[in-house]
Structure 1
C-alpha cells in the first residue's frame, strides 16, 4: 500500500502537525534549516521577511516571522509515535545532526531523510546506514543539474540512497519507470489533483505520495 506524506509549506499554521496526524497519513514533512546561532528549525525558505536564517539568531528569526518558529526537535517530539517523519534537508551541513535527532526522538524506521544533494545523502548513508534516505530530483530546467535529473540512476547508486523522491512531472516523463526497473522505491511530490493521485496510488513503484491534500489522498487510497 502506498503511504501518504503531508506536504508542509511556510504558510502552514501552528496546528499543522496535529492536522497531519489526524488526516490518517503515514508521514509528515518537516523542512529543515539552521539559524546563524546553530538552532535547527522547521523552515522551507532560506529567509523570512527579508531576514536570512543563516545570518540571524533564532530570536531574530522568530521576530521576523512574527511568531515562534518551531525547532525541529520540538516538531519531532510532537509527532513521535503518532506519524512518521519526512525530514527534508533544505541545506548542507546539518545532515548528521538531523539524522541523529531522528534516531533519538523518532527511532529507526520511523523517518526518511530527503535531500537534493547527493553529498548529503552519501554522508548520512556512510555514517548512519540504518537511516532511510531518498535523493530528491526534479529541479526547474533553469537550475544547475536539471538535465541530470532525467537520468538519475548513477547519482542514486553513487550516493547510496535507499529511495528516490521525484517531482510528479519528471515521474511522468519516464524517470519513475527507470527507477522502478532498478528496484528503487519512489516518493512522488507534490501531487494534488485527483487524477494524478489515482494514477500514482495505483502504481506499485510509488512507495510514498506527497500531497497538500492528505485527506483526499487517504480517501482515494482506502476506497472510502
Structure 2
C-alpha cells in the first residue's frame, strides 16, 4: 500500500511538525524557502505578511508571520529517526544546502526531494545521484506550461527524476496511467477527501499519498491491510 506523507505541517511551526511525526506518517513534508539573509526556512507561501519572503531577513519574516517560521535544520531534527523526510523545494537556489541538511539528518535512503523545477531536480541528480528526487507536476491551468503537465514523461526523463509527484486531478485525468506504463513511481498530492484517499490507497500505481490529514489516511490504510 502507498506510504503516507504528512503535508503542509509548517503552519503551526515546530508544534505542527511534532504533531505530524506523532501521527505515524511514513514521511513528513517540509516546504523549503530562503530568506533575504540566506536562512533556509520552512514556509509554504511565497510571501509572509504580504511581503515576498525573499526580501525579508529571517528576523523580519518571524515578525511578519502569523505563526512561527522554523529553520529547516530545526525541522529536520524533529523528524530525524521518527519518520522519513519529504523535502519540498519551493524555489530554486536551495538545492545544495537543503539536500546536504537532509543527508545529515536522514542518510541517502531516508528522504525524498520534490520540486516543480526540472532544473532543480536535474541539479540534484547530477550532484547527489544517490538521493531520490521527484518532479512535481500540476500547475494551475492559468500558469505557463500547464498544458505540458498532461504529457510530463519527457520532462521527467529529461531531468533524471526517480519519481513523479502528481496533483490528484492530473492523476485522475490519465497522467498516473502514463507514468505507470513508463514504470515511473508516483506520489499523489494533495489528497484530503476520504473517497479520494480510499481510491488512491487501493491503487498499486501510487507509491506515496500526500495529505493534510495523515491520521485519517493511516486509519483507512490500516482497515485495508
For normalisation by structure 1, the TM-score amounts to: 0.96
SS in 2 for 1:223: helix
Quote the residue 1:23 is aligned against. Answer: 23
C-alpha distance in structure 1 between counterparts of 2:47 and 2:156, whole Å: 30
Provide the residue aligned with 1:118 in structure 2. 118
Shift of 1:212: 1.0
Residue 40 (structure 1) aligned with residue 37 (structure 2)? no
Q: Which residue of 1 aligns with 2:181?
A: 181
Task: Tell me if 1:6 matches 2:9.
Answer: no
Q: Distance in 2 between matches of 1:10 and 1:77?
A: 14
TM-score (norm 2): 0.96
Question: Does the 8 A contact of 1:10 with 1:44 survive in 2?
Answer: yes
CA distance in 1, matches of 2:159, 2:145: 15
Rounded to whole Å, the distance in 1 between the matches of 2:187 and 2:66 is 33
The 3-state SS of whatever aligns with 1:70 is: coil
| C-alpha deviation, 1:99, in angstroms | 0.9
Q: Which runs of 4+ in 1 moved over 2 A?
A: 9-14
Matches within 5 A, 1:64-213: 64-65=64-65, 67-213=67-213
CA-atom RMSD, angstroms?
1.3
Secondary structure at the aligned position of 2:36 is classed as coil
SS in 2 for 1:15: helix
Question: Does the 8 Å contact 1:137/1:164 carry over to 2?
Answer: yes
Q: 1:66 to 1:209 in 2, by over 3 A?
A: closer
Structure 2 CA distance, aligned partners of 1:90 and 1:139?
13
**For structure 2, which runs of at least 5 residues remain unmatched after alignment?**
none
C-alpha distance in structure 1 between counterparts of 2:179 and 2:68, whole Å: 40
Unaligned 5+ residue runs, structure 1?
none
* SS of residue paired to 1:183: coil
Q: Secondary structure at the match of 1:45?
A: coil
